[in-house]
Amino acid sequence: MKRTASNLPEFPHAKGLLVQEERLEFVKKNKQLVIGIPKEADSTESRIPLTPEAVEMLVEGGHEIIIEKDAGKQANYNDLDYSEKGGRIVTSSQEVYRSDIVLKVAPLIPSEFELVRDNQIIMSSLHLNSSTGDYLRKLIQKKVTAIAFESICDSDGSFPFIRAMSSIAGSTSVLVAAEYLSNVNKGKGVMLGGITGISPTEVVILGAGTAAEFAARAALGLGATVKVFDNSIKRLMELQNLLGQRLYTSIFHPQVLARVLKTADVVIGTLTPEESNLRFVVSEEMVMNMKHGSVIVDLAIDKGGCFETSEIRDHNNPSFEKYGVVHYCVPNITSRVARTASIAMSNVFAPLLLSIGEAGGFQHQLKEDSGLRHGVYVFNGILTNDYLGRLYNLPSRDINLLMAAF
């Protein structure tokens, strides 16, 4: 009898008769990270990159955290705080530098380079000054991978570390300026702000980014008159919208800026030379014409500075006077409020480190995360930042091209 489609047997699970692919066991990508936090060798650096609470999160995620004794002391965290959360306290820097990833705030100093292992991962800040060229050459010689945490960006193009530190630095800069205007630091005895019947102090802010926003908020809150300069009309408009009020704004016309600086009581610089495409925004001649006893706070000093007269200083000797104008040029101004700054940094570091572990390690995360790649300036001993290469006459290569080989 001829078989037709109607009398063929039905196989509701006919797929089960076909050859099926073999189901392999799913292998988790998670990798245990060994993260070392040394005690900062720079005595003026008070911050620590991870709080005890962040250490607890990472330990619960399967990672090992090695912390040098007293590393958190200046931020008012003791060793017991960390050991109770699962951190391992060690007594020497050598033990910390055996870690896969060394996490610190300040850049390495010469004595620390002796402890760095070849092909190690160093996450820290990067300050641009006269010795940076030698610093980069030493990193290259050690064949390390170095990440400037302030250059790491999110998927939306924002910089979480800069946002966190800049917001603190902006607010703190106004408090610092207030101190140097007062009699406490032999200032001219002026209160920053304004009260009824007395002309308010004038605060000029160079730049319209995050630090500028928080500096403006603090100064306006005290009653000062605020004037903001930037090379982008868009940023100036955004700043006014964020502040919710009209204020004096201008792009960088040299004549206009020079005129405004003559009456300013405080000038806060937030623009780096890289952002402004200028070696400095305020010339020495402009500073010479400022009021005697006025105050300059250069928040961009770690990247070269806003003022021609700026000189990098530290918290032991934070200020100097030139042409009768007080200059405050300390790179790590947020160390003045070390605990607040440490918590802000930790809020960004902890999720990043957890992501690196979940991705299967640093190399895997680096391939997937363009924001992390943006923070890398030396990769396995190869300079990957074109700006630094041009600035210090060093050969550089595109990290995106290098990643294709790994």
- Sheet with 225-229: strands ordered across: 248-250, 225-229, 202-206, 266-269, 295-298, 325-328, 319-322
Same domain as 362, residue 327: no
Report the alpha-carbon distance of residue 241 to residue 258 in Å, rounded. Answer: 26
Catalytic residues, by residue number, are 127, 302
Which of 224, 179, 226 lies closest to 200 in space, CA to CA?
A: 224
Structural domain ending residue among the three candidates 307, 331, 355: 331
Which of 324, 341, 261 lies closest to 48 in space, CA to CA?
A: 341
Same domain as 312, residue 208: yes
Give pLDDT tens digits for 81-121.
999 999 999 999 999 999 999 999 999 988 899 899 888 99
Same domain as 146, residue 68: yes
Same domain as 326, residue 191: yes
Same domain as 398, residue 327: no
Same domain as 217, residue 101: no
Same domain as 247, residue 205: yes
Same domain as 100, residue 200: no
Could you tell me the pTM of the whole model?
0.82
Same domain as 134, residue 99: yes
Q: Which domain holds residue 282?
A: 166-331
Give pLDDT tens digits for 354-366.
999 999 999 899 9
Give 22's pLDDT tier (boundaries 50, 70, 90): low
Q: What is the dihedral of CA 186, 262, 232, 302, to 10 degrees?
A: -30
Q: Looking at mean pLDDT, say which of 2-16, 113-127, 217-231 comes out highest.
A: 217-231
Give 8's pLDDT tier (boundaries 50, 70, 90): very low
Same domain as 229, residue 97: no
Q: What share of the chain in percent tops pLDDT 70? A: 92
Report the alpha-carbon distance of residue 50 to residue 58 in Å, rounded. Answer: 10
Of residues 135 and 43, the one with the higher pLDDT is 135
Report if residue 290 sits inside a domain: yes
In this predicted structure, what is the pLDDT of residue 37? 97
Counted domains in the chain: 2
Same domain as 223, residue 148: no
Structural domain ending residue among the three candidates 301, 331, 361: 331
**What CATH number is given to the structural domain containing 394?**
3.40.50.720
In this predicted structure, what is the pLDDT of residue 9? 45
Same domain as 307, residue 245: yes
- The helix/strand/coil state of 386 is helix
Where do we find the tokens 């002026």?
190
